[in-house]
Amino acid sequence: MRQIEFFDTSLRDGEQTPGVSFSVKEKVAIAKQLEKWGITVIEAGFPAASPDSFEAVREIAAAMTTTSVTGLARCVLSDIDAAVEAVKDAKKPQIHVFIATSPIHMEYKLKMTPEQVLAQIDKCVRYARERIEVVEFSPEDATRTDRDFLLKAVQTAVDAGATYINIPDTVGYTTPAEYTKIFEFLIANVKSEREIIFSPHCHDDLGMAVANSLAAIKAGAGRVEGTVNGIGERAGNAALEEIAVALHIRKDFYQAESPLKLDETVNTATMISQFSGIAIPKNKAVVGGNAFAHESGIHQDGVLKNAQTYEIITPELVGVKHNSLPLGKLSGRHAFTDKLQELEIAYEEADIVPLFEKFKKLADKKKDITDADIRALVAGDTVKNLEGFIFDSVKIDGHTAVITLKNQEGEIFESTGSGSGSIDAIFKAIDKAFNQEVNLISYSVDAVTDGIDAQATTIISVENLATGTIFNAKGSDYDVLKGGAIAYMNANVLVQKENTNGKQDKISAHDGI
Ligand SMILES: CC(=O)SCCNC(=O)CCNC(=O)[C@H](O)C(C)(C)COP(=O)(O)OP(=O)(O)OC[C@H]1O[C@@H](n2cnc3c(N)ncnc32)[C@H](O)[C@@H]1OP(=O)(O)O
Ligand SMILES: CC(C)C(=O)C(=O)O
CATH number where 95 lies:
3.20.20.70
Atom 19, ligand 1: residue with shortest CA distance = 49
Percent of the chain with pLDDT over 90: 63
**Ligand 1 pocket: which of 53, 109, 111, 141 to mutate (most atoms <8 Å of CB)?**
109
Query: Do 70 and 155 share a domain, yes or no?
Result: yes
Q: Is the ipTM of this complex over 0.85?
A: yes
In a domain, 381, yes or no: no
In a domain, 377, yes or no: no
Instruction: Give the chain's length.
Output: 513
Distances (CA, A) of 200 to 29, 100, 355, 419, 442: 26, 15, 54, 70, 69
Shortest-distance atom of ligand 1 to CA 76: 41
- Give the number of the ligand closest to the Cα of residue 204: 2
pLDDT higher than threshold 60 for residue 253: yes
Query: 508, 472 in Cβ contact below 8 A?
Result: yes
Give the β-pairing of 470-477 and 456-464. Answer: antiparallel
What confidence tier does 150 reach under pLDDT thresholds 50, 70, 90? very high
**Residue 189's CB: how many other CB atoms inside 10 A?**
12
- Give the number of the ligand closest to the Cα of residue 167: 2
Query: Do 347 and 451 share a domain, yes or no?
Result: no
Nearest 5°: the CA angle 251, 255, 261 is 55
pLDDT in tens, 331-354: 999 999 999 988 888 788 888 998
Question: Of the given ranges (192-206, 313-327, 404-418, 477-491), which has the lowest mean pLDDT?
Answer: 404-418
- Average pLDDT taken over every residue of the chain: 90
Q: How far apart are the first and last CA of the chain?
A: 65
Shortest-distance atom of ligand 2 to CA 141: 7
Nearest 5°: the CA angle 32, 212, 280 is 45
pLDDT higher than threshold 60 for residue 33: yes
Q: What is the 3-state secondary structure (H, E, C) of 381-392?
A: HHHHHCCCEEEE
Q: What is the pLDDT of residue 379?
A: 67
CATH number of the domain that 462 lies in? 3.30.160.270
The phi and psi torsions of 55 (rounded to 5 degrees) equal -60, -40
Would you say the CB of residue 170 lies under 6 angstroms from ligand 2? yes
Shortest-distance atom of ligand 2 to CA 16: 5
Query: How far apart are the C-alpha atoms of 285 and 280, rounded to whole Å?
Result: 10
- Tell me, what amino acid is at 407? N
pLDDT in tens, 374-433: 877 776 643 333 356 677 788 888 888 888 877 667 777 777 888 888 899 999 888 877
Query: Do 362 and 419 share a domain, yes or no?
Result: no
**Region 182-205 average pLDDT:** 98
Q: What is the pLDDT of residue 419?
A: 86
**Region 354-371 average pLDDT:** 83
Tell me which of 464 and 181 has the higher pLDDT: 181
* pTM confidence score: 0.75
Q: What is the pLDDT of residue 389?
A: 64
CA of 83 to the centre of ligand 2 (A): 16
CA of 359 to the centre of ligand 2 (A): 52
- Tell me, what amino acid is at 257? E
Which alpha helices (DSSP H) does 323-434 contain, by range?
A: 333-342, 349-365, 371-380, 422-434
In a domain, 290, yes or no: no
Q: What is the pLDDT of residue 448?
A: 64
Atom 45, ligand 1: residue with shortest CA distance = 110
DSSP secondary structure letter of residue 416: E
- Give the number of the ligand closest to the Cα of residue 144: 2
Query: 137, 164 in Cβ contact below 8 A?
Result: yes
In a domain, 450, yes or no: yes
Query: Do 261 and 331 share a domain, yes or no?
Result: no
**Region 84-94 average pLDDT:** 98
In a domain, 288, yes or no: no
Query: Do 209 and 318 share a domain, yes or no?
Result: no
Query: Do 111 and 151 share a domain, yes or no?
Result: yes
Query: Do 307 and 214 share a domain, yes or no?
Result: no
Query: How far apart are the C-alpha atoms of 226 and 247, rounded to whole Å?
Result: 14
In a domain, 100, yes or no: yes
Q: Which residues pair with 476 in a beta bridge?
A: 457
**Residue finishing a domain among 369, 395, 415:** 369
Query: Do 168 and 262 share a domain, yes or no?
Result: yes
Atom 5, ligand 1: residue with shortest CA distance = 13
Query: How far apart are the C-alpha atoms of 147 and 239, rounded to whole Å?
Result: 27
What is the residue range of 321's domain?
297-369
DSSP secondary structure letter of residue 279: P
**Residue 452's CB: how many other CB atoms inside 10 A?**
6
Query: Do 354 and 397 share a domain, yes or no?
Result: no
Q: What is the pLDDT of residue 479?
A: 83
**237 marked among binding-site residues:** yes
Q: Of the candidates 476, 506, 482, which has an alpha carbon nearest to the alpha carbon of residue 494?
A: 506
Count structural domains, the chain.
3
Query: 341, 310 in Cβ contact below 8 A?
Result: no
What DSSP line would sit under 90-146, residue for residue?
SSSEEEEEEEE-SHHIIIIII---HHHHHHHHHHHHHHHHHH-SEEEEEEETGGGS-
Residue 207 C-alpha from the chain's centroid: 17
Query: Do 263 and 302 share a domain, yes or no?
Result: no
